[in-house]
Chains A and B, each alone.
Chain A
Amino acid sequence: MKNTLGIIFTYKYEEDLKALTQLRSIASIPFGGRYRIVDFILSSMVNSGITKIGMITRTNYSSLMDHVGSGKEWDLARKKGGLYILPPFSNPASVNYGANYRGRMEALANITNFIRRSSEEYVLMTDADMITNMTFDDMLQQHIEKGADITLLYKKGNFTNESYSQFCFLSLDEDEKVTDVTINPATDRNNLAVGTVILKKSLLESLIQQCSSHNLYGFRRDVLQAHLNDLKIYGFECKNYFSIITSISSYFDSNMELLKDDVRRDLFVDNNSIYTKIRDEVPTEYRNDSCVSNSLIADGCIIEGTVENSILSRGVHVRKGAVVQNSILMQDTEIQTGSQINYVIADKDVVIRQNRKLFGYQKFPTVLSKGSLV
């Protein structure tokens, strides 16, 4: 897929994720013990052979910039192509001053120079809220073979949950041609459009032009729905493991899925590597009284207590007599002696003092914000 330009929308407004996105964009939420959500889509693109990727940012993106750096860890520190961070272009005269983009097309209008100067024939645009390890070669091939104008990646399933209320659903004929695009429909929520799109760069440029000259800004409404009849829109089914982070509860469930052997195999072992920023941590140390079961544990932890059904990021310290169950502990969390936590998501640098007890509920885990002291 050398001939494809990658564009990642690193932000997304999800009211239900506010507790984790206050200080960062959705793309840089820590995930799975040592990753950030964006690592999955970024690695998938790189593993597909894409060598030029632009990341559109909106607000609170310093954490994301700190994470991706020069792009070196993804082999994206290149002379030709590589990683481009595309922050909002603040023009006081513009309607989107302060970069409160109303929609995808408005955000893309902001980076027309970046798109114009790229020599790639195709563009792969995607959100950064998904956990998957795939390559997009087959999707591009289908796009070319069907003579499609736009190809949308979709996942089959039963997505009745209301956390998908911001999503598009597709109706498809037997040839995978899209016959209808609906946003948050009452029924027929089986083909979830996951926000990954392939189209020709020239088409994208003309769509951006059309939208901005008519003061239109939404990709789904103003492109997909408006052009359903005059553009050939196809779907491409993703058959790899896939989950989308839409809420605290889906964030919690997606993390916990990593405790399943087949999910770990699909994401980390059988497919290409998922790259992330290296922290040069020491190996994790298990002391004499440690008792650990069904848990995923990153480097640099010290385990002296009990850990069950949990995900521990780099540098977590579980002290003697502490009990951690069904929890997600992000970088450098410390659980002191005698404390018990269950169904807790602790953001980075949280300290739980001695003998504290903190219990959430499976569908409603307690979230402790970055740096909290309990």
Chain B
Amino acid sequence: MKLKKECIAMLLAGGQGSRLGVLTKDIAKPAVPFGGKYRIIDFPLSNCVNSGIDTVGVLTQYMPLDLNTYIGNGNPWDLDRNFGGAAILPPYMHGKVGEWYKGTANAIYQNIQFIENYDPDYVVILSGDHIYKMDYSKMLEYHKEKEAACTIAVLNVTLQEASRFGIMNTDENNRIYEFEEKPKHPKSTKASMGIYVFTWSKLKKYLVEDEANPDSENDFGKNIIPAMLGAGETLMAYEFADYWKDVGTIESLWEANMELLGENSPIKLNDPDWRIYSRNPNEQPHYIAAGAEVHNSIVTEGAVIAGKVSHSVIFHGVHIAKDAIVEDSVILPNAVIEEGAVVRYSIVAQGAVIGKGAVIGAAKEECEPGSIAVIGENIEVEAGACVKPGVMAGENVRKEADAS
């Protein structure tokens, strides 16, 4: 019997995410916790499964251990399959040589053999740093209908924002005639979402050509797409109008977490038809003690709350002691906020301990926009110490030497 997949996905998860600072000190960006019980990578993985794509190669490179363990055999996403499923693809030795993934295109190039195992007609290229729900099968239909070599998902942004993105200039039929990376004077507002559908035979040809060019940076945006445009291939823009958020910076990560709160959250997580799956930490239901106050927040299993929490995202296993105050903050798994500590407009990473009476950040209204205080993984903030707004604490904070 001949085994074949019509479409497989390749998920670029090797990025360091240096703009997330201490949050990605020990883990790759796609493994950063998000939304109470998820990690960023849960979104593209769940989208794949919900779109009917059951073969996903996850390309890892930077700090992959945590991510590898998290993905495991792909079971939480129903990606443990007889043929296909989730596969972790680190760089490897071939013959006597081996090299790191030099760029996004090179990462795919080095895994041509993996892709060919499935003999796919189409390959979806995804990145692991966006929060969104999207049915890739609709995009694939569009790609087939237009007989395109490549289809790129685009989001309409404002003209000001456009200079921060890769912009697709298209004709009236959404056919792309030009691609501009972060243009100073954008001609269009169609921003690339970093989601590509390629006809595999075409992509393979351009990957091989690109690899042969020693001057190339081996990057999809900088090299592959321009080369395809130059050769006159059909490249289409696929317009997406729903929620999509790049969580590459502390501020956007904080915002995306906050956007989950409230009745009118723009990304409806509680959608039985489009579940976002995650590896379950298997903890008991969360406990709200007498005297605690929890408003306008999301809380998940294993948390114990005795203090006051408002407008915050509380992950599993977090302890918030009595008289502690948490406001406008994101508290990642197993962090401990001790008695009387005040945490406002902050992100507190996994396992961090905020000592008694310590003060992290300040009221959001009093802070410069975006000056979120960040406490790194397993960092201890001594009782009574203070971490000012906008400060990123990557080392233990002592009382006498307040981080400033």
A residues apposed to B, CB below 8 Å: 32-34, 72, 259, 264, 267-269, 273-276, 278, 280, 282-300, 311-312
Binary interface encoding of chain B residues 270-309 relative to chain A, with 1 for a CB under 8 A from any of its CBs, else 0? 1000011110101111111111111111111100000001
Asked whether A280 lies within 8 Å of B275 as measured between CB atoms, the reply is: yes
B285, A298: Cβ atoms under 8 Å? yes
- Which B residue sits closest to A268, measured CB to CB? B284
Contacts A292-B288, A294-B288, A299-B301 given; does A283 touch B36 at CB 8 Å: yes
Q: Is the CB of A32 within 8 A of B284?
A: yes
0/1 per residue, B255-273, Cβ < 8 Å to A?
0000001110000011000
Minimum CB distance partner of B278 in chain A: A280
Tell me, yes or no, whether B37 is within 8 Å of chain A by CB.
yes
> B299: which A residues are within 8 A, CB to CB?
283-284, 286, 297
20 further interface pairs, Cβ-Cβ under 8 Å (given A283-B37, A285-B298, A290-B295) = A33-B285, A34-B301, A259-B287, A275-B282, A278-B282, A282-B37, A282-B270, A283-B313, A284-B299, A284-B300, A287-B295, A287-B296, A288-B296, A289-B295, A296-B284, A297-B286, A297-B299, A298-B285, A299-B37, A299-B301
**Smallest Cβ distance from B46 to chain A, in angstroms?**
9
Residues of A within 8 A of B282 (CB): 273, 275-276, 278
B35 is an interface residue with CB less than 8 A from chain A: yes
Question: What separation, in Å, do the CA atoms of A34 and B282 have in the docked complex?
Answer: 10
Give the distance in Å from the alpha carbon of A67 to the alpha carbon of B36 in the complex: 25
Q: A288-B295, A294-B290 given as contacts; is B269 within 8 A of A282 (CB)?
A: yes
Q: Could you tell me the distance between the alpha carbons of A257 and B296 in the complex, rounded to whole angstroms?
A: 28
Residue in A closest to B36 when the chains form the complex, CB atoms: A283
Q: Interface residues of A: mostly helix, strand, loop or mixed?
A: loop
Cα separation A293 to B291 with both chains bound (whole Å): 6
* B296 and A264 contacting across the interface, CB-CB below 8 Å: no
Give every chain B residue within 8 A of A72 (Cβ-Cβ).
75
A293 in contact with B292 given A283-B300, A287-B263, A312-B285 (CB within 8 Å): yes
By a CB distance below 8 angstroms, the chain A residues around B277 are: 280
A283:B288 contact, CB within 8 angstroms: no
Most buried by B among A72, A278, A280: A280
- The answer for the CA separation of A115 and B276 in the assembled complex, in Å, is 42
A287 CB contacts on chain B under 8 angstroms: 262-263, 295-296
Complex CA gap A312/B284 in Å reads 12
For B35, list chain A residues within 8 Å (CB). 283
Complex CA–CA separation, A283 to B298 (angstroms): 6
Once bound together, how far apart are the Cα atoms of A284 and B276, in whole Å? 15
Selected A-B contacts with CB under 8 Å, 25 pairs: A33-B285, A34-B301, A72-B75, A259-B287, A264-B284, A267-B284, A275-B282, A280-B278, A282-B37, A283-B35, A283-B37, A283-B299, A283-B314, A286-B299, A288-B295, A290-B294, A291-B293, A292-B288, A293-B291, A294-B289, A295-B287, A297-B287, A298-B301, A299-B301, A311-B285
The answer to whether A286 touches B291, judged by C-beta atoms less than 8 angstroms apart, is: no
Give min CB distance, B317 to chain A, whole Å: 10
Docked pose: A150 CA to B292 CA in angstroms: 49
Q: Which of A34, A287, A295, A297 has the most CB of B within 10 A?
A: A297
Q: How far is the CA of A32 from the CA of B37 in the complex (A)?
A: 20
A358 to B157, CA, bound (A): 52
Is the Cβ of A264 less than 8 Å from the Cβ of B287?
yes
Partner of B285, one of A280, A288, A294, A296: A296
Distance in Å: Cβ of A109 to nearest Cβ of chain B: 37
Bound form: Cα–Cα A296–B270 in Å: 21
Contact partners of B262 in chain A: CB under 8 A: 287
Question: How far apart sit A299 and B299, CA to CA, in the bound complex (Å)?
Answer: 8
| Bound form: Cα–Cα A284–B295 in Å | 11
The answer for the CA separation of A284 and B260 in the assembled complex, in Å, is 11
Per the 8 Å Cβ criterion, residues 4-59 of B in contact with A are 35-37
Contact indicator B286/A286 (Cβ below 8 Å): no
Tell me the smallest distance from the CB of B349 to a CB of chain A, in Å: 18
Most chain-A CB neighbours within 10 Å: which of B76, B293, B313?
B293
Q: Across the two chains, which residue of chain A brings its CB closest to B305?
A: A292
Alpha-carbon distance between A91 and B287 when the two chains are bound, in angstroms: 49
CA distance A290 to B27 in the complex (A): 35
Chain B CB count within 10 A is highest, among A32, A285, A290, A300, for A285
Question: Complex Cα distance A311/B287, Å?
Answer: 9
Report whether A297 and B284 are in contact in the complex, using a CB–CB cutoff of 8 Å.
Answer: no
Contacts A280-B278, A283-B36, A288-B295; A293 near B288 (Cβ below 8 A): yes
How many angstroms from the CA of A292 to the CA of B298 in the assembled complex?
13
Q: With the chains together, A34 CA to B316 CA distance in Å? A: 15
Measured in the bound complex, the distance between the Cα atoms of B76 and A278 in whole Å is 9
The answer to whether B286 touches A296 (Cβ under 8 A) is: yes
Q: Is B294 touching A286 in the complex (CB atoms < 8 A)? A: yes
A33 to B285, CA, bound (A): 6
**Across the A-B interface, the 7 shortest Cβ-Cβ residue pairs:** A283-B36, A33-B285, A298-B285, A268-B284, A283-B298, A283-B300, A294-B290
Given contacts A267-B284, A296-B285, contact A284 B298 (CB under 8 A): yes
Q: Whose C-beta in chain A lies nearest to the C-beta of B263? A: A287
Question: Complex: how many Å from CA A311 to CA B286?
Answer: 10
List of B residues within 8 angstroms of A290 by Cβ: 294-295
CA distance A297 to B305 in the complex (A): 11
Tell me if B300 and A34 are in contact (CB < 8 A). Answer: no
With CB as the reference atom, state the residue of chain B lying closest to A296: B285
Contact status A299-B284, CB under 8 Å: no
Distance in Å: Cβ of B283 to nearest Cβ of chain A: 7
- Contact A284/B286 with A290-B294, A293-B291 known, Cβ cut-off 8 Å: yes
The residues of B that contact A274 with a CB separation of less than 8 Å are 284
User: In the complex, what's the smallest C-beta–C-beta distance from B345 to chain A, in angstroms?
Assistant: 19
B2 → A minimal CB distance (Å): 28
Query: What is the CB-to-nearest-CB distance from A69 to chain B, in angstroms, rounded to a whole number?
Result: 13
Q: Which residues of A contact B76 (CB under 8 A)?
A: 278
Q: Which residues on the B side are within 8 Å of A294 (C-beta)?
A: 288-290
